[in-house]
Amino acid sequence: MATVVSAQKGEPTSQKEGAYKGALAGVGARPLEEVKAKRYGETTQGEVNKASFVRTDYAGDLEDGVNRQIDFENSLGYIALAVSAHMDRDTGALPGCAKFFRAMSEKEFGDAGKFMAFQNTRGGRVQLMAIPMPDSDYYSREKGDALYAFELALSLQKLNLDKLKALHRLADQSEDYQAQDFVEDEMTAQAGVIKQLGDYVCELKRVSGDRLGVFRFDEELAG
């Protein structure tokens, strides 16, 4: 094409030179052109208040979903901390259970931290929320302390898996493969947590009504 145009204008140009210009016009990669739209923290959604130097193709509703997950993980950590305090009280006196729920609390706060790191890696903005005050007592006359608390923990972790699935759907909708991969790893780990709690609930139901059985269960957790 470049050779024809040049010939019509009567400009002196060689066959080789014309072919070279034609090759440039048809070149595929144009990184300097492509990067213009994404420079200086501009986002594909044009969200000025969420500008970031590293953000690229990170949907706003997914960013909000990650903040909700951070909030949920922190809430679970706070509840586990309250359960640990209940077990450590003189009326609970189950040190193994107190130790387990303290460790669970630290894990949940750690999970929140992982989502915070992901948010920042993607150029999102972490928005922490107020955590509701948890209950102080975890006991029922029918189930006692341990079974009541572990059944509650199992239900909460199943609910957390539902939250992770909802977050994964958001990642699917925006075809965010990096977010999908991250959430899938968390869901796999979550399935392991649910299995462990399910086993504990089963053991406690097996010794239901047997205080010595609960004592031995607690001793095992105390290590």
Beta bridge partners, 140, equal 144
Burial grade of 215 (CB within 10 A; 0-12, 13-18, 19 or more) = middle
Instruction: State how far the Cα of 55 lies from the Cα of 218, in Å rounded to an integer.
Output: 48
Instruction: State how far the Cα of 183 lies from the Cα of 167, in Å rounded to an integer.
Output: 7
Q: Which is nearer to Fe ion, 46 or 192 (CB)?
A: 192
Q: Which is nearer to Fe ion, 108 or 218 (CB)?
A: 108
Tokens of 158: 């199943």
Closest separation in Å from C-beta 111 to Fe ion = 4
- By CB under 5 A, the residues from 141 to 160 that bind Fe ion are none
Instruction: State how far the Cα of 13 lies from the Cα of 2, in Å rounded to an integer.
Output: 10
- By CB under 5 A, the residues from 97 to 126 that bind Fe ion are 108, 111
Q: Which is nearer to Fe ion, 43 or 157 (CB)?
A: 157
How would DSSP label each residue in 89-126? STTT--HHHHHHHHHHHHHHHHHHHHHHHHHHHTT---
Q: Which is nearer to Fe ion, 71 or 108 (CB)?
A: 108
With CB atoms as reference, the residue minimizing the distance to Fe ion is 111
- By CB under 5 A, the residues from 30 to 89 that bind Fe ion are 73
CB 129 within 8 A of CB 76: no
Closest separation in Å from C-beta 157 to Fe ion = 7
Instruction: State how far the Cα of 19 lies from the Cα of 8, in Å rounded to an integer.
Output: 16
Q: Which is nearer to Fe ion, 171 or 214 (CB)?
A: 171
Closest separation in Å from C-beta 160 to Fe ion = 6
Closest separation in Å from C-beta 84 to Fe ion = 16
Size of the site for Fe ion (CB under 5 A): 3
Q: What sections of the chain are H helices per DSSP?
A: 2-9, 15-25, 31-36, 60-88, 95-121, 146-173, 177-206, 211-222
Q: Which is nearer to Fe ion, 98 or 183 (CB)?
A: 183
Closest separation in Å from C-beta 209 to Fe ion = 32
Closest separation in Å from C-beta 46 to Fe ion = 33
**In the complex, which residues of this chain contact Fe ion (CB under 5 A)?**
73, 108, 111
